[in-house]
């Protein structure tokens, strides 16, 4: 199954489905069509009992996902109390899917990619993968992204990644050390490693697996829900106007360090 920017392959024998963000020429950035395709795919898998575990990955080796496509134009209400976020429903949990999801990351994962990483059960990464959050560099509030990462990484690591913006990237090794990544694979091997894990999980009784996933998320759901409820107002109050964001994006140098 495939759409404009999403490839979906399900193996009925193993019970594993692989969802691939398929816009490598755009570093797998998410446009409105791809966002809609992701939401539809997650919801369809709620009803497909032949699929018991899923993997989300990106096409090519340059990037897992670089967040929202910069060409997307989203008109916002003229109110600090309302924000239209085109990525808010791209993750499995936002679509009430409680089957286990593993993220396989090669290359860059930044910004809006954290919506997907944050709603995966765990992350497998190639050794050259990097993680960063560009929001503050371009005059945007990192709210949803930082809240998602705060569930997976120590506070200081999330704060540093969000506040350092494009000046610094977290290496796969460092991400492994702080708990964002659960397994390091050779470059190009993240997908195979993730599919292998998914196959093991899919071989177990589905009810027990899904109950465990739900229990794990219940452990942190209250704090996460309360934080996310404030995200729209923080974004509306703190974001620079879109034109100024674009000026910063076009004018900023691309120098950075990897740690």
pLDDT in tens, 53-70: 999 999 999 999 999 997
Cα distance between residue 115 and residue 100, in whole Å: 15
Least confident of 141-145, 204-208, 219-223, 248-252: 248-252
Of residues 85 and 131, the one with the higher pLDDT is 131
> How far is Cα 165 from Cα 142, in angstroms, rounded to an integer?
10
3-state SS string over 189-214? Answer: CHHHHHHHHHHHHHCCCHHHHHHHHH
Residue 32 has pLDDT above 80, yes or no: yes
Q: Which of 33, 34, 31, 36 has its CA nearest to residue 71?
A: 31
Phi and psi angles of residue 79, each rounded to the nearest 5 degrees, phi first = -155, 135
Whether the per-residue pLDDT at 153 is higher than 80: the answer is yes
Instruction: Tell me what percent of the residues of the chain surpass a pLDDT of 70.
Output: 96
Instruction: Provide the pLDDT for residue 232.
Output: 80
Q: What pLDDT is recorded for position 2?
A: 52
Work out the pLDDT band at 76, boundaries 50, 70, 90. low
**Could you read off the pLDDT of 183-200 as tens digits, one per residue?**
999 999 999 999 999 999
Spatial strand order in the sheet of 6-11: 6-11, 16-21, 53-58, 101-105, 122-126, 183-185
How far apart CA 112 and CA 88 sit, in angstroms, is: 9
What number is the average pLDDT over the span 168-181?
98
Each residue's pLDDT tens digit, 116-131 = 999 999 999 999 999 9
- C-alpha to C-alpha distance for 118 and 93, rounded to whole angstroms: 9
Q: Indicate the range of 48-62, 101-115, 235-249 predicted with least confidence.
A: 235-249
The pairing of beta strand 63-65 with beta strand 101-105: unpaired
pLDDT of 235 above 90:
no
Q: Which domains does the chain have, with CATH numbers?
A: 6-189 (3.90.226.10)
Q: Assign 244 a pLDDT band (cuts: 50, 70, 90).
A: confident
Q: What is the pLDDT of residues 4-15, one digit of tens each?
A: 699 999 999 999
Give yes or no for residue 111 having a pLDDT over 80. Answer: yes
For residue 244, give the 3-state DSSP assignment: helix
Estimate to the nearest angstrom the gap between the alpha carbon of 172 and the chain centroid.
Answer: 15
């Amino acid at each position: 199954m495939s759409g404009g920017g999403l490839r979906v392959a399900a193996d009925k024998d193993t019970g594993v489905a692989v969802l691939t963000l398929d816009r490598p020429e755009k570093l797998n950035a998410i446009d409105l069509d791809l966002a809609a395709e992701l939401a539809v795919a997650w919801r369809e898998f709620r009803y497909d009992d032949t699929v018991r575990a899923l993997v989300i990955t990106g096409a090519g080796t340059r990037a897992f996902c670089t967040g929202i496509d910069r060409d997307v134009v989203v008109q916002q209400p003229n109110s600090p109390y309302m924000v239209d976020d085109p990525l808010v429903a791209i993750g499995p949990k936002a679509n009430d899917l409680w089957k286990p999801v593993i993220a396989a990351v090669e290359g860059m994962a930044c910004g809006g990619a954290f919506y997907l990483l944050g709603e995966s059960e765990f992350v497998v990464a190639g050794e050259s993968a990097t993680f960063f959050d560009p929001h503050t560099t371009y005059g945007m509030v990192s709210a949803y992204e930082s809240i998602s990462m705060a569930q997976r990484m120590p506070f200081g690591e999330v704060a540093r990644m969000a506040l350092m913006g494009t000046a610094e990237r977290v290496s796969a090794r460092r991400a492994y050390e702080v708990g964002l990544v659960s397994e390091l694979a050779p470059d190009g091997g993240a997908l195979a490693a993730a599919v292998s894990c998914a196959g093991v999980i899919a071989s177990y009784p589905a009810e027990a697996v899904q109950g465990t996933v739900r229990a794990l998320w219940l452990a942190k759901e209250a704090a996460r829900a309360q934080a996310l409820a404030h995200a729209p107002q923080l974004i509306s109050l703190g974001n620079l106007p879109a034109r100024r964001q674009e000026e910063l994006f076009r004018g900023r140098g691309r120098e950075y360090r990897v740690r």
